[in-house]
Amino acid sequence: MMKHPYKITQHQLNLSDQQVSYQLYKKAGEGAPRRLVMLHGAGVAGEYTWSAIAMMLTQWDEILIPDQRGTGNTRYPDGKEYSFTVNELVNDISALVDHLGWWQFDLAGYSMGGMVSLLYKQRYHDRVKKQYLLEAAVLDRPSWESTVNLRHQFSTAAEQLKGNQAETGIKGFLDTISPNRKVAPQAELLTIQRLAERPLGFANALNCVTDAINSIDREALVAAQGDVSSFIGGHSVDLMHQYQRDLAERLPNWHYFLVAGTDHSLPFQKPRQISRIMDQELIRFLA
């Protein structure tokens, strides 16, 4: 097996109300580095989500993988779980990249992290260059009403996670977000175990996305994006594919990729395919 070229280090940034844990991947080299920030989805930490993809990427010199609120090793100073807003997530990423002096970078976001990355790009347009989305939240359906209704289905799972029905809530979440998934018992068990590591944090993340839809203007959000490569699992619902095809046909900066043989779990199931396309898409973007 070929050794990956990155040195990986673990760090923590202490903000006023949050201890943000993050990993840095760095190659040895000189000159201005090409940098990439990768934001995970609700419930599963950054390392679990992105490490397999990151280690196969060839076009970046530095990669930043943080844990967002409610997930992984990022915690409130008192160690308790509290609700949070999407604006707080955007503020955390802003504080982190400012702390590191990353004034320009590429940005990848999965699920909830996709929504955060879209909002970061909208707020700090000139700092983000190439963009990657993996089944970004709020880009679920062509109809905004259907998107809103889908998010409210997650509220039931969140309530179960806050009570004594964490496993029931997790299974309900998986059935809602990946209704056509091919269930492999061992993979399903691992997914449930990871999502159950911080059930209250996971519930707060689900509620964060549901609350965010009440303030998001999706058309304005999409219009504010740059060059986007958007990945959708082949087994994901047809309406999601329809919306992404429509965006790709309507917008010259939107590039849609169907990832065969997977569903919403695409970064975990197809890291090699996704990393290869990410490399190719950056080369196209820079040409």
Transcribe 82-150 into DSSP letters: ----HHHHHHHHHHHHHHHT--SEEEEEETHHHHHHHHHHHHSGGGEEEEEEES-TT-S-SSHHHHHHH
- Contact between 169 and 143 under an 8 Å Cβ cutoff? The reply is no
- Residue 257 exposed, middle or buried by CB count within 10 Å (0-12, 13-18, 19+): buried
Residue 56 in this model has a pLDDT that exceeds 70 = yes
- Contact between 177 and 114 under an 8 Å Cβ cutoff? The reply is no
**Tokens representing 192?**
């449930």
Model confidence at 3, pLDDT cuts 50, 70, 90, reads low
Distances (CA, A) of 91 to 114, 119, 219: 15, 10, 22
Q: pLDDT at position 241, please?
A: 97
CA distance 109 to 137: 10
Question: Model confidence over 8-26: pLDDT tens digits?
Answer: 999 999 999 999 999 999 9
CA distance 182 to 116: 28
Residue 229 in this model has a pLDDT that exceeds 90 = yes
The whole-model pTM stands at 0.96
Q: Is the CA virtual torsion 236, 239, 245, 250 positive or negative?
A: negative
**Tokens representing 81?**
């779980």
Mean pLDDT estimate for the chain: 94
Q: pLDDT at position 28, please?
A: 85
Of 87 and 163, the structure prediction assigns the larger pLDDT to 87
Q: pLDDT at position 1, please?
A: 45
Report the run of H or E that residue 232 belongs to, with start and end. Answer: strand 228-233
Of 278 and 156, the structure prediction assigns the larger pLDDT to 278
Question: Model confidence over 257-286: pLDDT tens digits?
Answer: 999 999 999 999 999 999 999 999 999 999
Compute the 3-state secondary structure of the chain and give helix, strand, coil in percent, each to the nearest 5.
45, 20, 35
Of 158 and 164, the structure prediction assigns the larger pLDDT to 158
Q: pLDDT at position 16, please?
A: 96
Sequence-ordered list of residues with C-beta below 8 angstroms from that of 113, at least 6 positions apart, any chain: 38, 39, 40, 41, 49, 68, 136
Lowest mean pLDDT among 25-39, 125-139, 239-253: 25-39
Distances (CA, A) of 143 to 2, 76, 189, 229, 243: 45, 36, 33, 21, 9
Tell me the average pLDDT across 123-147.
95
Residue 87 in this model has a pLDDT that exceeds 80 = yes
**Tokens representing 36?**
């990439």
Model confidence at 183, pLDDT cuts 50, 70, 90, reads confident
Tell me the average pLDDT across 236-265.
97
Q: pLDDT at position 110, please?
A: 98
Q: pLDDT at position 2, please?
A: 53
Model confidence at 29, pLDDT cuts 50, 70, 90, reads confident
What phi and psi values does residue 50 have, to the nearest 5 degrees? -110, -15
* Residues constituting the chain: 287
Helices and strands in the chain: count of H runs, count of E runs: 11, 8
Q: What percent of the chain has pLDDT over 90?
A: 83
Tell me the average pLDDT across 197-210.
95
